[in-house]
Chains A and B, each alone.
Chain A
Amino acid sequence: MSEYEPVIGLEVHVQLKTQSKIFCGCSTEFGAEPNSNTCPVCLGLPGSLPVLNQRALELAIKVGLALECTVSNRIKFDRKNYFYPDLPKAYQISQYDMPVASKGHLVIEVPPHPSLPPQRGEGKSAIKGNAGISHVSSPLAGEDQGGGEVPKGNQLIPKKIEITRAHLEEDAGKLLHEGVRDGSWVDYNRAGVPLLEIVSEPDLRSPDEAFQYLTGLKSILQYLDVSDCNMEQGSLRCDANISVREKGDSKFGIKVEVKNMNSFRAVQKAVAYEIKRQVEATQAGERIAQETRLWNESKSQTFSMRSKEHAHDYRYFPEPDLVPFTVSSKQIEQIKKSLPELPQARIQRFKKQFELSGYDAYVLVSDKPLGDYFEACMNERISAKLSSNWIQSELLGELNARKLSLRESKVGPKDLAGLIRLIENNTISGKIAKEVLPEMLETGKSAETIVKEKGLVQVTDTKLLEEIADRVIQANPKTADEVRAGKAQAIGFLVGQVMKETKGKANPKLINDILSKKLSN
């Protein structure tokens, strides 16, 4: 049986973070009273005319530059004509043949072999919507310094995903059907909100790559501070174009568009479902219909919405109400200079400056607040490796268990650094630290205070530990004999007993040394 390969392209609509709408002065605030943020222009009242919000254009250019696109000097808009009650003018002002940006790319990090995705601890991330490249779920137990360990062998390889274009357009309103008798309501608050549609080439080859692409794109948008990227509020929306073909085939299969995914995970699942559906259909000798399908989250399936035979002819033509104009290369250069450090550059810097692995740097940088958190920890002059591990596994794990975001955490970078410093100077063990952190998150107290209050300072008194060791050996003669006889693993039990006596406050390595010495005679 032949092997199949999926071909995926994504269309992402990003709401640009402007105070006012793209063609009028109305507020873009989310959640306002229906139809309160409207005026003759965004309601499309007869006689009204659009005027371009320069800020929206500037943000679009920023994104274009960050995605290494060619930014067009000539700004032109077109009308996309179709009828729908949420579209007040019966056309959407968009950009057809001259998008503000085109021909760029986004680098994603993929595992060397597509069948071996990086391990991910689903839901481990504390950051909403960014289940990201995830942090590894199980820290290796009993490690002396704690903080878990990111597994080795998780080498990621950069892959360039080409960006076809990014164009500006206005959003439509919103229809409300539920709870309305004899009809529907329309809320035009969203009509005229600026959107940037970012279209990728069909370069993605797996649901994971689609997920990586979205994470990477969101990361860039976050760094640029051009969008809230909130899928639940609709400030980021994604449609996927999916086809399958026999491996090695250079021709594309028939493309199906899938809509209605409300999270990156949903995109990943919908793409996976659709690939499976198409492969099974193809294997059964069926022809894939060119159509638009809707993802149903609760059923975890896609359903046909309309076939392309009924596709719209949008009758695009240049928008006569907005005269094309020129953006000078100098202006574009100025915007370029104003760009902040972007994720790829920050990853490289983290690797160099803090000697982090590529994987760790990638994880920390992908989510801007996380990267900022890590950098703030670094200002406290503590170990980078230890901080990275503690942030990724312990802090995020604890936050996630409490359904808190990094921003909501009572443990700020300075607080975490305080905890890590106690580990570094052997005041507490990593194991104890893991008990201290939840306490910090609950109470907001510093690590030092908790350690002092609870008397958790590590026992480093060798004399005391030797006394306890002697007691333990006496109480467990059989195990002691096994160790003496050369069964090295058996010592672990004795170490555990000493730890128990000290209520976990002893340094396990120190105990090990003492016991070994006593039993080697």
Chain B
Amino acid sequence: MELYELTLKQAKELIAQNPAKQSELRESLSKRVQAVDPKIKAYINFTPHPNLPPQRGEGKSTISHISSPLAGEDKGGGILFGIPISIKDNIVTTGWETTCASKILKGFVPPYDATVVRKLKQAGAYIFGKCNMDEFAFGSSCETSCYGPTHNPWNLNYVPGGSSGGSAAAVAGGLAIAALGSDTGGSIRQPASFCGVVGLKPTYGRVSRYGLIAFGSSLDQIGPLTKTVEDSAILLNVLAGHDERDSTSADVPVPDYATFLGKDVKGLKIGLPKEYFVKGLDPEVEKAVKQAVQIFQDLGAAVVEVSLPHMKYAVAVYYIVAVAEASSNLGRFDGVQYGFRAESQNLKEMYFETRNQGFGDEAKRRILLGTFVLSAGYYDAYYLKGLKVRTLIKQDFDEAFKKVDVILGPTAPTPPFKIAEKLNDPLSMYLSDIYTISANLAGVPAMSVPCGFSSKDLPIGMQLTAKPFEEGTLFRAASAYEAATNWHERRPSL
């Protein structure tokens, strides 16, 4: 077994036994990236910016293009000591160019670390590289990146999902031990499903957003993409918690998520929303998810039907609320302070040309939509109404969770689709997130876990959803399922 194949847990154990192994791990991983990433294109870069002084402990690497761990920080003590973590390129990292896969941010090297990055470093981990994504996280296929698409490690003709497609593909392809993604409407879970890895979107407020370049501020959450459920729990233990720099982060105690692993699911009540299993759901996905339901039943869980009556409005509401916030959040990319600035004769031209040349089509589409729904005369009809329906969607979950502990369903309506298949059909692309979006609107935690493969040998994931701040319940259910199956052990041959 190659070291790059290790799970986070295994890598931890390896380094705990022999700290010198961390450079072997780094070497193995970087060789893998050099060999395979030209095909996958999971990374935007894995080199800190040369113009900035190396961070403490960094720059001592024997391999030139990879940073070394923060050796001085946490000598062996940190629970992630010596572990390389890959970071989605919309999370700011001191000294690393951070672009959101957009031309408009090219050259932007943040002078500060996101809270999650700071926490990872404090735990002894180091940044391995920055992962490709849909531009500003606008997309479900990782094709809108200004650097070009990322390819699915299971079949290079297929998309890895998005927007955290680079993070998911890196983990699935053995190009990362674990990665961080962000999820606004499914951007962690849907690529996790497409790449056959575990992806967790925590409760809104569970993980600090400080340093996450905002898309939809009221929906965004950072979360882990990992090879196993256990790895996900290990990472969430590091990431979760109140941050005084983020007013929307919750001051709710963080349990040790590892304590939820390896438990049985006897008596666990699992809800199947009747609205989930309808027309539009791919039969292969439906079959895989139903088989998973059977496994849970075999393990002693009780399965009941629930209803999420307002789910049918979720995609519509999402494309009002998320784009409204996005249009405002992206205003700051104007060429004044940082990133790309177009040649121009005057201020107006600078704005127009910088944004015209700097943003891709999907970003422009969403900025236009968002600007429209917030405009005088339309605000009440769209944004305000959207907020009301959002409340109803949240109430649906509240009602359902009175009856069940976990809601189970497909993560995406289909297995991975082909590159370019939906790129010019935004509506069908948007529907790719139909099962994931409502968790963001309601703020509840949800996780995608591998649950099978399609006839084309492409991964299928199921989604588990729990009450706010009950990520522990997700870990309990997912780890029991994982123990009873071996989907997570399968790796693509590259």
Contact = CB atoms under 8 A, between A and B. Distances in A.
Nearest to A314: B376
A186 interface: yes
Given A43-B337, A47-B210, A90-B334, A317 B328 contact: yes
B248 A321 contact: yes
Contacts of B383: 317
Contact of B334 (A49, A83, A323): A83
A46 interface: yes
A49 B331 contact: no
Interface string A257-296: 0000000000000000000000000000000000000000
A88 interface: yes
B2 to A, nearest CB: 35
Contact of A49 (B210, B324, B338): B210
Nearest to A77: B247
Interface string B245-270: 11110000000000000000000000
A85 B217 contact: no
A48 interface: yes
B209 A89 contact: no
B331 A85 contact: no
A323 B209 CA distance: 14
B247 A51 contact: yes
Nearest to A40: B112
B331 A83 contact: yes
Interface string A314-330: 01110011110000000
A45 B337 CA distance: 9
Contact of A40 (B98, B111, B331, B371): B111
Contacts of B298: none
A184 to B, nearest CB: 8
B70 interface: no
Given A43-B337, A85-B336, A317-B328, A322 B247 contact: yes
A321 B217 contact: yes
Contacts of A354: none
Contacts, number: 102
Interface in A29-79: 40, 43-52, 79
A4 interface: no
B100 to A, nearest CB: 8
B277 interface: no
B213 interface: yes
B328 A46 contact: no
Contacts of A323: 247-248
Interface string B92-125: 1000001010000100101110100000000000
Interface in B294-332: 324-325, 327-328, 331-332
B219 to A, nearest CB: 9
B336 A186 contact: yes
A315 B374 contact: yes
B108 A90 contact: no
Contacts of A315: 327-328, 371, 374-376, 379
Interface string B161-179: 0000000000000000000
A317 B244 contact: no
A47 B331 contact: no
A81 B374 contact: yes
Interface of A: prevailing SS: loop
Q: How many residues of B sit at the interface, in one of the four size bands?
A: 35 or more
A317 B210 contact: no
A50 B212 CA distance: 13
A209 to B, nearest CB: 33
Contacts of B375: 313, 315
B110 A81 contact: no
A49 B112 contact: no
B110 A49 contact: no
Given A47-B110, A317-B379, A88 B248 contact: no
Contact of B211 (A47, A51, A81, A83): A47
A51 B249 CA distance: 11
Given A320-B217, A321-B217, A50 B247 contact: yes
B110 A321 contact: no
B442 to A, nearest CB: 15
A320 B331 contact: no
B334 A320 contact: no
A323 B247 CA distance: 7
Contacts of A51: 244-247
Given A45-B110, A88-B332, A317 B213 contact: no
Nearest to B244: A51
Interface string B204-240: 0000011111101110000000000000000000000
Contacts of A46: 92, 98, 100, 105, 108, 110, 213-214, 332-333, 338
Contacts of A47: 91-92, 110, 112, 114, 210-214
Nearest to B325: A320
B347 interface: yes
B351 interface: yes
Contact of A88 (B212, B337, B347, B376): B337
Interface in B113-141: 114
A83 B328 contact: no
A47 B212 CA distance: 5
Nearest to B100: A46
A270 B211 CA distance: 46
Contacts of B211: 47-48
Contacts of A43: 337
A90 B104 CA distance: 15
B284 to A, nearest CB: 38
B379 A90 contact: no
Nearest to B384: A317
Contacts of B92: 45-47
Nearest to B387: A318
A12 B77 CA distance: 56
A88 B331 CA distance: 9
Contacts of B91: 47
A313 B336 CA distance: 22
B348 to A, nearest CB: 9
Contacts of B110: 40, 45-47
Interface in B373-414: 374-376, 379, 383
Contact of B111 (A45, A83, A316): A45
A413 B213 CA distance: 59
A33 to B, nearest CB: 17
Contacts of B100: 46
Nearest to A90: B331
Contacts of A52: 247
A79 B328 contact: yes
B46 to A, nearest CB: 20
Nearest to B351: A83
A52 to B, nearest CB: 7
A192 to B, nearest CB: 14
A446 B366 CA distance: 76
A410 to B, nearest CB: 49
Contacts of B331: 81, 83, 89-91
A90 B328 CA distance: 8
A79 B248 CA distance: 16
A48 B108 CA distance: 14
Contact of B246 (A44, A49, A85): A49
A87 to B, nearest CB: 9
A48 B306 CA distance: 39
A44 B331 CA distance: 11
Most buried by A among B100, B216, B245: B245
B13 to A, nearest CB: 33
A178 B351 CA distance: 22
Interface string A112-126: 000000000000000
Nearest to A188: B337
10 smallest A-B Cβ distances: which pairs? A90-B331, A320-B217, A315-B374, A320-B218, A46-B213, A47-B211, A47-B92, A85-B336, A47-B213, A313-B376
14 contacts: A40-B110, A40-B111, A43-B337, A46-B98, A46-B213, A46-B333, A48-B112, A48-B211, A49-B210, A51-B245, A91-B328, A316-B379, A321-B247, A323-B247
